[in-house]
Amino acid sequence: MGSRVEILNDGGYRSDGRRQYELRDINIDMTHQGPADGFATVSHGLTEVSVSVFGPREARLRSQTIHDRANINVEVNIAPFSTGDRRRRNRGDKRILEFGATIKSTFEPVIQTSLYPRSQIDIHVLVLQQDGGVLQACINATTLALIDAGIPLLDILCAVTGGVHSTSPLLDLTNLEENDVPHITVAIMPRTGKATLATMETRLHVDRFEEVFKIACEAAHVLHTEMKAAVKNRTAALASAMGAGPKPPLRTDDDDMMQEY
């Protein structure tokens, strides 16, 4: 049965006017909200996610204490108004639990947890609006919130979704496209090129997988530039708020982290 919507027209444009490899606009806000140690809101097109990070702090429960590294706790909430489906999802919802487990396993190789033994890092993810690429938005917002909290990472982790319509690869899929084409979400560390996540909810032919994976990794480098710039702007704003004028430039922990990245 043919597609109900035209994913890619004869002119090579998608339903929202983008080309095959064109990413949606990304907006990043790292202005602090409430008592969190780190905070970031990221939107890819109409998809919007905010993440608050608390810690590292002493583990509340002995059962959650790991003697040689920090324990990472991830809690995901999806706002009822975030999608046309107004069904309220509770914390025990299967999809929410899967999201949390995926985010945790994606960041465990990236966060330098060994620096904080017997402690915990709490990551609270709130999905505010959904229009495809929700997992990529969750991962990118989590990366920025962790950096804002001053938690050392091996690299800035960047995620992007890729799919295939017929034989044409697509990047940064909308909800309409995700419902219609096989797709993967990839998270990579741009400096080393290592992937900590490659997940599919649909079948994708092995011959197409390599092609989509490759272009998704290339797109992650574009996101890396945007995310890096947001961190530098946040650092500059903090320095300015502390009364440090533009001259001479201050070196901060974030600057040192950016040098590493």
Asked, for residue 149, whether it belongs to a domain, the answer is yes
Asked, for residue 206, whether it belongs to a domain, the answer is yes
Instruction: Enter the DSSP assignment of 182.
Output: -
Asked, for residue 17, whether it belongs to a domain, the answer is no
Least confident of 56-65, 83-92, 223-232: 83-92
> What span, in angstroms and rounded, lies between the C-alpha atoms of 149 and 32?
10
Q: Which pLDDT score, from 0 to 100, does residue 251 have? A: 45
Confidence at 246, pLDDT banded by 50, 70, 90: low
Instruction: Report the DSSP pairing between strands 168-171 and 183-189.
Output: unpaired
> What span, in angstroms and rounded, lies between the C-alpha atoms of 97 and 101?
6
pLDDT digit string, tens, across residues 74-109: 999 999 887 655 455 555 568 888 999 999 999 999
- Round the average pLDDT of the chain to a whole number and report it: 88
Asked, for residue 168, whether it belongs to a domain, the answer is yes
Q: Which residues contact 63 (CB under 8 A, 6 or more apart)?
A: none
Confidence at 189, pLDDT banded by 50, 70, 90: very high
Between 5 and 236, the more confident residue is 236
Asked, for residue 12, whether it belongs to a domain, the answer is no
Q: Residue 110 is encoded by which pair of tokens?
A: 């990236």
Q: What is the mean pLDDT of residues 41-67?
A: 92
Q: Whose CA is closest to 40, among 147, 163, 150, 113?
A: 147
Asked, for residue 184, whether it belongs to a domain, the answer is yes
Q: In the predicted model, is pLDDT for residue 70 greater than 80?
A: yes
* Domain total in the chain: 1
Asked, for residue 212, whether it belongs to a domain, the answer is yes
Q: Which pLDDT score, from 0 to 100, does residue 244 have? A: 55
Asked, for residue 201, whether it belongs to a domain, the answer is yes
Q: Say which CATH number the domain at 38 has.
A: 3.30.230.70
* Element containing residue 89 per DSSP (H, E): none
Q: Residue 197 is encoded by which pair of tokens?
A: 């996540």
Between 133 and 202, the more confident residue is 133
Q: Which residues contact 61 (CB under 8 A, 6 or more apart)?
A: none
Least confident of 39-43, 49-53, 162-166: 162-166
pLDDT digit string, tens, across residues 10-21: 888 998 999 999
The domain in which residue 242 lies consists of 26-260
Q: In the predicted model, is pLDDT for residue 132 greater than 90?
A: yes
